Amino acid sequence: MAVTFTCPASKLVFERSCFLHKNSRHVTNVLEHHFNYGVDILIPDCDSIPLHLTSLMVNSRFFLTERLPLAILIDKEFVEAFVKKGKLYMLSYGTAIDRDNCVAIVPPGILILNLTKDTYQELGLVGKPTVFQKKLPTKYVVEINLTEEYFTPGKNYYERVKWCLTDRLGLVFDFLVAWLPHEDQISQSSVPAYLCNKGFRSRAFKVSEEITFKKDVKYPVIDSNDFDGHGEGGNSDNDCPITSSTKYDEQKKGGTKSDGQLKSGDFLCSYTEFWEWLGAFTCGLDCDGSPDDFLSTFSCPDPVSISPSCCQCKYRGFILPGTINCLIESLRDYMKSSTSPWACVTVHGFTDSPVSWRRNEHGHHKGGENLYTFVLFPSEDYWLYMAVGTHDICPP
Amino acid sequence: MSIFAKKNVSKAEKNEFVQSFLQKHLPEKRLRQGEDITLQHAHFMLDNPRTRKRKEVKLKRKTLSAKERKELKLFEIQPEHQKYDMYTPLHQLWKDYMKDVINFDKITPGNQSQMEELLLRADLHGAVLTVTKSKCPSYVGTSGILIQETKNTFKLITKDDRLKTIPKPNSVFTFELEGYIITIYGNNFQVRASERAHRKFKTRPTVDLI
Amino acid sequence: MYRRIVSKGKAEYFYLHVTLEFEDFEDVPVDAIKFKTIIVDALQGLFGLAGASIPADILKFHQPKRSAVLRVPSSGFVKLWSSLTLLGTCMGRRCAFRVHQVTPHLMALSANSREWQL
């Protein structure tokens, strides 16, 4: 066909590293991804999930404050009490990043306003046009550092911001609020309590949980060292091949680790195939298609292993990066004592968050996805997938 | 040709010669029409002396040219004159003037477009303008008395006695008058104040935003 | 030990989460095979035989809601999406495809924060 349509670009970063390595960035990668909507855990060969893993997630709470004016957020009292101490995460709820104004607060106290062109031109705060549209931008990003020394009442800049947010446009949003206190004695709910005093109602929510066990699951065999599907020379992703000597070493190690199931020369599942399978399994897809099936030609990549029981947990809510970090630490402990060949933690970011990692601007474009997956191995090695949509800056 | 060679002939002699010459040579028909006399008026000065061109006396201008005025910095408002309070009487004057121009009690939805036409031609010096929308966010919210208007800018004196020059393009201005809020789209207002009074404006169904 | 591979640009496959809706909310029985036929017809209607040959896989089909997860090679992605959008009738009834999510990463379909209700 003569007409070809360009499809939107996708970005996937794959990293293989070890938790024990001194330069391993797994903690920063988790902590820098601020707004997490969901966590999916998948552990094969597991018939009961340890309670301390689940309680960690279930006990985390978050709040929804309705119709909160932005002027409250720059209030000196609020900034001193919650923004400068502890870690405050706030995200506007029910706003679409490609259509509406979105607002977020990320530690350390940066207020990010992702505004539409009309609002930006009326508001009167200087920002930058979105990085995704070079010509005729329709979105603008204003960043205000609430913790800056000059950001105090009486100073010009503060008064200007305050005037813009109160007198010019009384911007009001519903906010998801979660706060990590700096001291253990202080309750998480002091933020909503403070807001309640000011006359803004908050509702508390718990992270929703859904645990399912699946019987006799076919899953692909992977090896932490052999991520590129050893033997597949024509793999296009393999743009910088490992030198042959290291590859042989890894293969030997891999052979011993997988309990002699594999003979050298077997084609293992590559990281891209595994990523697709993992997605399919998490979405609850049927992976038994045959290549000539009318409906679907998708099937579980070879070689497969069968797990008698597979544990799958789904958490949905406004989950703090710190909680996820704890979860990964606990899973590492768990992996040391379990028989599972690997465990997966997938973290989905909010589609409509104004930032993905760090303060990198996030956009929607077609999908707005920003997520990462950790595949943990008993050997403390890990694989990390970081996937974002077209309108996103490549993860760190 | 011998006649031309003769020099220092008196005027009477010349006339005599011409008269006789004509009577001798002109056809009878033309003589009867009296052409010998009329032709006299069209005679050439054969010894045409060069006349000196008269120098045009330039009329001295009573006013300065725009360039001179600019050079003399007449348009610039001295720092000591940049006081908001100095211009509040101007604002009062302007309000009275606007009341003369537009009869606010008689505005109906029917004659609103006529009133708009009048507003468009009215002088705005003295109005309290506010920037409500701008491509440059720093201009947004600037408010003051308009003390000078050029083709492309408004000069406003703000309440804290500062003179601000705001470019008309890419901004939207408003002012309040007798309870009406009037919006000016700077992009379509790039005309000198003096020209605006006579200029014919096209009405557009929609206004392009900035 | 440490390896980092960045893949940018064209993905091999694209995944779509779609729902087929009928105008009168009638319970029109549509099974997976019928669903696939509707999609192929939509492709053929807009792009002809070349369009109909685009391999759109139905990875998952939820019959009561008539929602499905589709997989399509990225070369045919725009064609599939446009045909689904422009489809107005099937089986003599007015209908529309709602495209909920579109992504090159199948994993992203397991969560949709836009449809999250508190």
Q: Does the N-terminal peptide bond of residue A108 adopt cis geometry, omega within 30 degrees of 0?
A: yes
The predicted pLDDT at position C28 comes to 76
The predicted pLDDT at position A288 comes to 65
Phi, psi of B110 (to 5 degrees): -70, -45
The predicted pLDDT at position A339 comes to 83
Closest CA to A277 of A304, A310, A300: A300
Cβ atoms within 10 Å of B207's Cβ, excluding its own: 10
The H or E element that residue A330 is part of is: helix A321-337
Q: How far is B65 from chain A (nearest CA, A)?
A: 40
- CATH assignment at residue C49: 3.30.70.3250
The DSSP code sequence of A333-345 is HHHHH---S-EEE
Across the A:C interface, residue pairs with CB atoms under 8 Å apart total 169
Instruction: Give the residues across from C97 on adjacent strands.
Output: C20
Q: How far is B161 from chain A (nearest CA, A)?
A: 17
The predicted pLDDT at position C86 comes to 92
CB contact (8 A) between residue C10 and residue A279 = no
Q: What is the CA radius of gyration of chain C?
A: 16
The predicted pLDDT at position A253 comes to 38
Residues 6+ apart with CB under 8 A from A224: A16, A254, A257, A342, A375, A377, A379, A381, A382, A383
The predicted pLDDT at position C29 comes to 81
Nearest Cβ partner for C6 among A13, A21, A352: A13
B150 pLDDT above the threshold of 80: yes
Instruction: Over range B118-135, report the average pLDDT.
Output: 90
Residue in B closest to A126 by C-alpha: B137
Residue in C closest to A206 by C-alpha: C118
Q: How far is A133 from chain B (nearest CA, A)?
A: 16
Please tell me the total count of domains within chain C: 1
Q: Does residue C118 belong to any structural domain of this protein?
A: no
Phi, psi of A162 (to 5 degrees): -60, -45
Q: Boundaries of CATH 2.30.30.210 in chain B? A: 81-196
Q: Which one of A29, A277, A285, A371 would you mutate to disrupt binding with C, by most C Cβ within 10 Å of its Cβ?
A: A285
Q: Does residue C33 belong to any structural domain of this protein?
A: yes
The predicted pLDDT at position B198 comes to 83
CB contacts of B139 in chain A (<8 Å) are: 124
CB contacts of B183 in chain A (<8 Å) are: none
Instruction: Tell me the CA distances in angstroms from A229 to A163, A239, A269, A302, C73, one per residue in order.
Output: 59, 13, 5, 10, 21
The predicted pLDDT at position B153 comes to 92
CB contacts of B138 in chain A (<8 Å) are: 124, 126
Q: Which one of A4, A5, A6, A10 would you mutate to disrupt binding with C, by most C Cβ within 10 Å of its Cβ?
A: A10
The CATH class for the domain spanning B81-196 reads mainly beta
Domain that holds residue C76: 24-107
The predicted pLDDT at position B36 comes to 66
Joined tokens for residue C116: 């999250």
Q: How far is A104 from chain B (nearest CA, A)?
A: 21
Residue in B closest to A129 by C-alpha: B135
The predicted pLDDT at position B1 comes to 46
Query: Is residue B179 very low, low, confident or very high in pLDDT (cuts 50, 70, 90)?
Result: confident
Instruction: Over range B34-58, report the average pLDDT.
Output: 69
Residue in A closest to B140 by C-alpha: A124
CB contact (8 A) between residue A121 and residue B138 = no
HEC assignment per residue over B40-86: HHHCCCCCCCCCCCCCCCCCCCCCCCHHHHHHCCCCCCCHHHCCHHH
**ipTM confidence:** 0.88
Distance in angstroms (rounded) separating the CA atoms of residues A125 and A317: 32
Chains B and C touch (3+ CB pairs under 8 A): no
Q: Does residue C14 belong to any structural domain of this protein?
A: no
Q: How far is A8 from chain B (nearest CA, A)?
A: 30
Nearest Cβ partner for C104 among A10, A16, A37: A10
Distance in angstroms (rounded) separating the CA atoms of residues A299 and A125: 53
CB contact (8 A) between residue A284 and residue C60 = yes
Cβ atoms within 10 Å of B172's Cβ, excluding its own: 23
C44 pLDDT above the threshold of 80: yes
Neighbours of chain B (3+ CB pairs under 8 A): A
Average pLDDT value over all residues in chain B: 82
Residue in A closest to B141 by C-alpha: A124
The predicted pLDDT at position A247 comes to 37
The predicted pLDDT at position A101 comes to 93
**Cβ burial A18-49 (10 Å sphere, 16+ → b, else e):** bbeeeebebeebbbbbbbbbbbbbbbbbbeeb
Nearest Cβ partner for C3 among A16, A38, A285: A16
Residue in A closest to C110 by C-alpha: A283
Burial bucket for residue A392 (CB in 10 Å: 0-12, 13-18, 19+): buried
CB contacts of A125 in chain B (<8 Å) are: 137
Residue A76 · residue A152 · CB < 8 Å:
yes
Three-class DSSP category at C100? strand
What residues of chain A score a pLDDT lower than 70? 1-3, 229-266, 286-293
Q: Does residue C98 belong to any structural domain of this protein?
A: yes
The predicted pLDDT at position A177 comes to 92
Q: How far is B133 from chain A (nearest CA, A)?
A: 5
Distance in angstroms (rounded) separating the CA atoms of residues C60 and C67: 8
Q: How far is C33 from chain A (nearest CA, A)?
A: 7
The predicted pLDDT at position A128 comes to 92
CB contact (8 A) between residue A120 and residue B209 = no
Instruction: Tell me the CA distances in angstroms from B18 to B5, B12, B41, B42, one per residue in order.
Output: 15, 10, 12, 12
